[in-house]
Structure 1
Amino acid sequence: MISENIWEQLIFTIGEIAIILVIGFFLFSLIVVGISFYSIKKGRFYFPSLVKSGIVMTEGMAKGICKFFGLDDKELTAFSINLHNTMNQTAFSNVLPEKRAIFLPQCLRNSACPANLTPEGLICRRCGRCEIGAHIDVLEKMGYKIWIAPGSTLIKRMVKKYKPEAVIGVGCIVEVREGLELLDKINLVGMGVVTLKDGCVETLLNWHDLMDVAVLGIEEEIQG
C-alpha cells in the first residue's frame, strides 16, 4: 500500500513538472515571438543573443504562435536571418576577402544557360544571358572564391576542400536559414542573402544586397 502511494505521488509529481515545463516553454516562445516582432516594427534588434537562441530552441512552437495570431512565420524567419547577419557582421568583417567564399544557387541563371556542370559546380561561361557572370568578375577581383551550387552537397564538399573562414550563402529563405544553421554547427562565420523570388528557374536576386555584405570590412580598399 505504501509503495503504491509513493508510485502515485511520483507519477503526480512528474506530471506537474511536465505541465510546468510545457507552460514555461510556451511562455518563452511567446516572449521570443513578441520581442522579434517588436524589433521588426521598431527596426532595431532587442536582446539579440536571447532571441537568436530562442528562435532556434522554439522554432516549431514560435511558428505555431505566429499562425495562431495570423502572423507570417516567413517574416519571423527573415528576422532571424537578419539577426544572424547582424551578430556575425564584425567577425565577418575581420576575415580577409581571400578567405571568404560565396555560394550562388543555380536557379539564378537563365533557362538557356550554357554553363557546364563540373565536380565544383556550374562554371559560368559569361554568355550575358543573366547577371551572374558580371558580378562574379567583380567579386573575384575583390578576392572571393565563388561557386554556383546545384545543391547543398557541393557546398559541404567545397567548404571541406578549400576551408574558407567565412561564407556568404545566397538562396531562398528556407535554404539560407538551413545554410546558416549548418555553418554555425561547423563553426564558420556565415552571412545570408535571400533571393527576391523563390523557385527552381530564373529566380531573382537584388545584387546590391549581396554586394553590401561582400564589401564589409573592405569598403576603404575599394574606395581607395
Structure 2
Amino acid sequence: MAATLTLAFFDSPVWNNLALILGQLLLVFIVFWMVFSILMAILIVISIHKKQMYFPRLLRPFFTIMEGTVKIVCLLLGVDGKELMEFLIRIDNEMNFSNFAKTPVEKRVIFFPQCLRSRDCPAHLTPDGLKCVSCGRCGLGRAIPALNAAGYKTFIIPGSTFIKRMVKKYQPKAMIGVGCMMEVKEGLQMGRKISMTTIGVMTKTDGCVETTMDYEELMEVASLGLAEQIVMEPDPRSGTR
C-alpha cells in the first residue's frame, strides 16, 4: 500500500511541477555560479596585470571556494599558476598589514628557512632552531641581529613542523614567514587556520641551498607599526646578497 502511494506521488502533477521548479532553480544557480566565477576570474586577471587590488576581501574567500574553476578560467585568460599564486599571496598580505602593524613587536616572530644560509654555515641546531652566529657568510647574520634588537623573536627553521612547535611554545600574535612560493602559501594557510596574523615574504630564488631574498623588503614589512625603520648593517662584501 505504501509503495503504491509513493509511486502515485511521483507520478502526480504535483511532483512533476516540483521537480520542474527544482530543476530550473538548479540550472539558474549553476549559470549564476559560472558567470560569477568568470567575472571574478576576470577581476583577478585585471588586478594582476594592473598590479592593483580590486575587492581583495571578496576575491580571497571566493577563490578558496572555487579554486579549481578560477584557475582554469585564469589559465584560459593567459594567467599561469605562478602569477595567480603570487597575486593571492599579495592579497593575503594586504589584508593582514593593518592588524600586523597593530601587534606589539614583542608579540611578533619571524621564521627563516635554513636554505638562506651559506653551505659553510657554522650554525648549530638548538631546541629553538638553528642558532645564527653572525659569521658573515650570508645575509641572515645582518638581518637577525637588527630584527632581534627591534624586539622580534627570530627562528631559522629546519622544517615546517618546527613552526607549529615554536608558535605553541611562545604564543605569538603575528608572524612573518620567509620562504619559497609554496612555503609562503602554506604558511599563510596555517596562519588562517590558527587565526594568527601572518605576512609572507618570498625568497628571490628557489632551492635547498644558498637561496636569496630581498632583505630590504623584509625590513619594510617588519617595520610596519614601529616608530622607526629597522635597518640592517651594511654588507661589507661586494656583489653578495
> 1:100 maps to which residue?
108
| CA apart distance, 1:182 | 1.0
Deviates more, 1:24-33 or 1:152-161: 24-33
Partner SS state of residue 130, structure 1: coil
Deviates more, 1:9-18 or 1:165-174: 9-18
Q: One-letter code of the match for 2:222?
A: A
Q: TM-score, normalised by structure 1?
A: 0.89
**Corresponding pairs, count:** 223
Which residue, out of 183, 195, 205, partners 1:187? 195
Sort the Cα spacing of 1:171 and 1:13 in 2 relative to 1 into closer, same or farther, 3 A.
Answer: farther
1:161-176 mapped onto 2 (5 Å cutoff): 161-176=169-184
Q: One-letter code of the match for 1:156?
A: K
Sort the Cα spacing of 1:137 and 1:24 in 2 relative to 1 into closer, same or farther, 3 A.
Answer: same
How many angstroms apart in 2 are the aligned matches of 1:214 and 1:221?
A: 8
Which residue, out of 152, 164, 184, partners 1:144? 152
How many angstroms apart in 2 are the aligned matches of 1:200 and 1:194?
A: 14
Sort the Cα spacing of 1:41 and 1:17 in 2 relative to 1 into closer, same or farther, 3 A.
Answer: same
Partner SS state of residue 64, structure 2: helix
* Structure 1 residues not aligned, in runs of 5+: none
> 1:47-77 deviations in whole A, cap 9, x for unaligned?
1210111122222221122223332121111
* Structure 2 residues not aligned, in runs of 5+: 1-6, 232-241
> 1:207 maps to which residue?
215
The answer to whether structure 1 residue 5 and structure 2 residue 15 are counterparts is: no
> 1:153 maps to which residue?
161
Partner SS state of residue 126, structure 1: coil
How many angstroms apart in 2 are the aligned matches of 1:44 and 1:65?
A: 20
Which residue, out of 35, 38, 41, partners 1:27? 35
The answer to whether structure 1 residue 129 and structure 2 residue 130 are counterparts is: no
> 1:119 maps to which residue?
127
Identity of aligned residues (%): 45
Structure number with greater Rg is: 2
Q: Answer whether contact 2:220 2:229 (CA < 8 A) is retained.
A: no
| CA apart distance, 1:181 | 1.3
Give the RMSD, CA atoms, in angstroms.
Answer: 2.3
| CA apart distance, 1:163 | 0.6
> 1:159-192 deviations in whole A, cap 9, x for unaligned?
1110111100111111111111111111111111
How many angstroms apart in 2 are the aligned matches of 1:184 and 1:40?
A: 23
> 1:91 maps to which residue?
99
Q: One-letter code of the match for 1:100?
A: R
How many angstroms apart in 2 are the aligned matches of 1:50 and 1:197?
A: 31
The answer to whether structure 1 residue 216 and structure 2 residue 224 are counterparts is: yes
> 2:239 maps to which residue?
none
Sort the Cα spacing of 1:24 and 1:178 in 2 relative to 1 into closer, same or farther, 3 A.
Answer: farther
> 1:45 maps to which residue?
53
